[in-house]
Amino acid sequence: MRILFIGDIVGRSGRTIVTERLPRLIRDWKLDLVIANGENSAGGFGITEAIYRELIEAGVDAITLGNHAWDQKEALVFIERAPKLIRPLNYPAGTPGRGAALIETKTGARTLVINAMGRIYMDPLDDPFAAIDRELIACPLGSGADAIVIDFHGEATSEKQAMGFFCDGRASLVVGTHTHVPTADLHVLPGGTAFMSDVGMTGDFDSVIGMAAAPPSFTPPPGQPAPTSVDGTPAPTAVPVPLVPGFGGAVDRGLGGLPHAGRRLVDLFVDRVGVCRHGFSLRTCARRGRG
Ligand SMILES: [Fe+2]
């Protein structure tokens, strides 16, 4: 199974690059499932129903959220009729929507997609570790789902790494979102779970996390920041996941951190994805002297 995770889509520039390029990526990369974080897709703040439908129409199979989940108030209502929209699992009981969803691919494989939010430098929500633990017990990898993908939305890399190891061997992929800055640590954990601290954003990289840059004095401009209007750069992480046992067999970095020219590298990306006979990524395999 080949899963593509697209980092935080920021504003119109992020949406445009996804809607323009995703259909071709699905075809060329033979993707089975596409998951995107869409909490900044509406002008940098939240998501509307129209944008939800636009992204689903472009080929996104599941959309995760985060601390901006409810910035567009309509999300509190339309999430109930948007089965592929997943808000943080560790919101208080009674919060509209769902924190996990079982998404079926075109080939009938079932992928459990979970969204949870960290608590370091973030909102004081319920314990994300306990919440995710309950989901993984209720829907185990292998018997309950063919693959499990967790979007852990948080600020601190340490908390995200802790979540990766907490889920190691029980999830196919754990990726961090929220900081909009990609990390260079995509790898397979000892138990077989693919992990990356943060996949970065899909938006204009000539910006401050997708927003128009502040003046040189670093004094925040008055009013709410707005996304820049320049074309976006996708920050996808492609993870081919074998159906059994469902772990991250081969991983590779996407375009995170590359400037606009990175878009041209999309076509080269798939060539760098590989897996050794032990099921490890080629890079991990070489480091361990295996394969
Ligand atoms: Fe966020």
Residue 207: inside a domain: yes
The per-residue pLDDT for 207 is 78
Cα 229 to its chain centre, rounded Å, is 23
The per-residue pLDDT for 229 is 59
How far, in Å, are 47, 58, 62, 165, 267 from residue 38 at the CA level? 7, 13, 10, 25, 24
The per-residue pLDDT for 181 is 87
Q: What is the CATH number of the domain that holds 255?
A: 3.60.21.10
pLDDT 10s digits, 56-100: 999 999 999 999 999 999 999 999 999 999 999 999 999 999 999
Residue 61: inside a domain: yes
**Count of structural domains within the chain:** 1
Residue 259, Cβ density class (10 Å: 0-12 exposed, 13-18 middle, ≥19 buried)? exposed
- Residue 80 alpha carbon to ligand 1 centre in Å: 21
- Residue 67 alpha carbon to ligand 1 centre in Å: 5
| Segments forming the whole domain that contains residue 235 | 2-213+225-288
The per-residue pLDDT for 220 is 55
The per-residue pLDDT for 237 is 55
Residue 195: inside a domain: yes
Residue 218: inside a domain: no
The per-residue pLDDT for 257 is 33
Mean pLDDT of each 10-residue bin along the chain, 291 residues long: 87 88 86 93 95 97 97 97 98 97 91 97 96 97 92 97 95 93 84 88 80 60 62 55 42 38 30 34 38 30
Which contiguous run of DSSP H or E holds residue 30? none
Catalytic residues: 68
- Residue 36 alpha carbon to ligand 1 centre in Å: 13
Helices 49-58 and 11-28 pack at an angle, to 10 degrees, of 20
Please name the amino acid found at residue 44. G
* φ, ψ of residue 272 in degrees (nearest 5): -90, -5
| Cα 86 to Cα 47: distance, rounded to the nearest angstrom | 12
- Residue 271 alpha carbon to ligand 1 centre in Å: 31
* Nearest 10 degrees: Cα torsion 182, 185, 186, 192: -150
Residue 220: inside a domain: no
Residue 173: inside a domain: yes
The per-residue pLDDT for 31 is 87
Residue 132: inside a domain: yes
Residue 240: inside a domain: yes
The per-residue pLDDT for 233 is 58
- Stated pTM of the model: 0.80
pLDDT 10s digits, 88-102: 999 999 999 999 999
